[in-house]
Structure 1
Amino acid sequence: MKILGFFGKGGTGKTTLTALILRELARRGDGGILAVDADANECLASLLGSGGTSNVSEMLQRYKRQREESPELTGLDIFQNLFDSLLMEGEQEGYDMLIMGRGEGSGCFCAINDLLQAVFEKTIEGDRYGYLLMDCEAGVEHIARKTSGEIHDAIIVTDASKVSLDTLRRIKDVAREVGTRIERYYVVANKTRPDMLEKVEKTAKDLGFKYLGAIPEDPNFTEVAYQGKTVFDLPDDSPAVVAAKQIVDRLLEG
């Protein structure tokens, strides 16, 4: 399984890129895909058209109730049954959807994160999926909470602003500090003027990251955003779709 984690400062378009990459991988059909919406805002599920399914947060509540109601069962047995049901409910055409959901009570994600890590470990052991795409929270918080575990490819979406480019540096530093295993770092430019792309590419190379290219401005996304459509409704010749295909080609080259 190839695990792809998508990171970036809020507003740079990491969720959009996650959806575009998933669309292209699903089109190629060279392995099952598990999409993990690990952002509490659940934007990825909405952009893919798979919102409304149960999430890990709700699963945690069912898990707690069943532990109280069925003390004869082990926690692992209960969790396994609930997780299998969650994956079945998240089955979509071309991919499966797993939504993390919101935190408990005042916002603590600790128990949810423990379950999410267990989900990753269980998934990695099997051969059901060829790709796991994880749309992470904005900034570096997701790595700081150590919910990412192991990531083969960290894909960081950025614009040319100083704040966004500084995030590139912090993500690598925080990953190292908390012990998150990331094999390769990639950078994709978005919401960036053509004359500023060289700045993004140079920053990526200076950090030892591979620059994959840029997502161009695409008027078709206006229709997706305001007419309730999904990324799968974009035409094949849409500028963002064409760019995503090229990015996937470079990504799979390693």
Structure 2
Amino acid sequence: MKILGFFGKGGTGKTTLTALILRELVRRREGTVLAVDADANECLASVLGADGTPTLSDMLQKYKRQREESPELTGIDIFQNLFDSLLMEGEQDGYEMLIMGRGEGSGCFCAVNDLLQAVFEKTVEGGTYSYLLMDCEAGVEHIARKTSGKINDAIIVTDASKVSLDTLKRIRDVASEVGATIERYYVVANKTRPEMLEKVKEAAESLGFKYLGAIPEDPNFTEVAYQGKTVFDLPDDSPAVEAARKITDQILGA
């Protein structure tokens, strides 16, 4: 399995890039794909057209109820049954969808994060999927909580602003501090004027990260968004799709 984690400051377009690369993997039909929406805003499902998919937080509530209603069953048995059911309900055309959902009570994500970690362990050890794409919460929160502790490729989406570029180093530093296993760091520019791309590339390479290129402004993507369509409705010759194809080639060739 190849695990891709998408990171970046809020608003840089990490969800967009996650969806574009998933679209490319589905088109290539190179293996089974699991998309994990680990951002509480739950935007990835909407961009992919998977709205209404049950969430891990929904599963948590069912788990609590079943523990009370079926004391003869172990927690592991209940979790296994619910998890298998969740994946079946998240089945889409060419991939499967898993949504983290919102936190418990007043913003706490502790139990949901524990479940997400368990999902990672199961899928990694079980070898169920060829690719796992995770759209992470803005910033470095998931690494700090070790929810994303096992990642082959961390793909950081950035613009040319100082705040966004500073996030590159912060993600690497936090990953190191919490002992997260990240094999490779990549950087993709988005929402960046052509004359500023060299600045992004230099910032990435100064940290030892590989710069993969940029997602260009794409009127097709804007039109799809306003019409309520999905990333799969984009034409194959759309500038964003073509850029994502080249980025995917580099990631898979690593």
**TM-score, normalization by structure 2:** 0.99
State the one-letter code of the partner of 2:49. G
**Residues 1:142 and 2:139 aligned together:** no
Provide the C-alpha distance between the structure 1 equivalents of 2:98 and 2:138, rounded to a whole number of angstroms: 18
Provide the C-alpha distance between the structure 1 equivalents of 2:75 and 2:45, rounded to a whole number of angstroms: 28
State the one-letter code of the partner of 1:233. D
- Tell me the secondary structure at the aligned position of residue 79 of structure 1: helix
State the one-letter code of the partner of 2:239. P
Q: Which runs of 4+ in 1 moved over 2 A?
A: none
Aligned to 1:187: 187
**Residues 1:63 and 2:49 aligned together:** no
State the one-letter code of the partner of 2:129. Y
Provide the C-alpha distance between the structure 2 equivalents of 1:149 and 1:178, rounded to a whole number of angstroms: 8
1:235-254 matches, within 5 Å, as 235-254=235-254
Task: Give 1:154 shift.
Answer: 0.1
**TM-score, normalization by structure 1:** 0.99
**Residues 1:218 and 2:218 aligned together:** yes
Task: Give 1:127 shift.
Answer: 2.9
1:51-200 matches, within 5 Å, as 51-200=51-200
Provide the C-alpha distance between the structure 1 equivalents of 2:37 and 2:26, rounded to a whole number of angstroms: 17
Task: Give 1:128 shift.
Answer: 2.3
Task: Give 1:142 shift.
Answer: 1.4
RMSD, aligned CA:
0.6
**Residues 1:13 and 2:4 aligned together:** no
Deviations 1:65-123 (A, max 9, x none): 10111111010000000000000000000100000000010010000000000001101
1:34-49 matches, within 5 Å, as 34-49=34-49
Provide the C-alpha distance between the structure 2 equivalents of 1:63 and 1:4, rounded to a whole number of angstroms: 28
- Tell me the secondary structure at the aligned position of residue 132 of structure 2: strand
Q: How many residues align?
A: 254
Provide the C-alpha distance between the structure 2 equivalents of 1:126 and 1:147, rounded to a whole number of angstroms: 18
Deviations 1:121-154 (A, max 9, x none): 1011223210000000001111111111200000
Unaligned segments of structure 1, at least 5 residues: none
Unaligned segments of structure 2, at least 5 residues: none
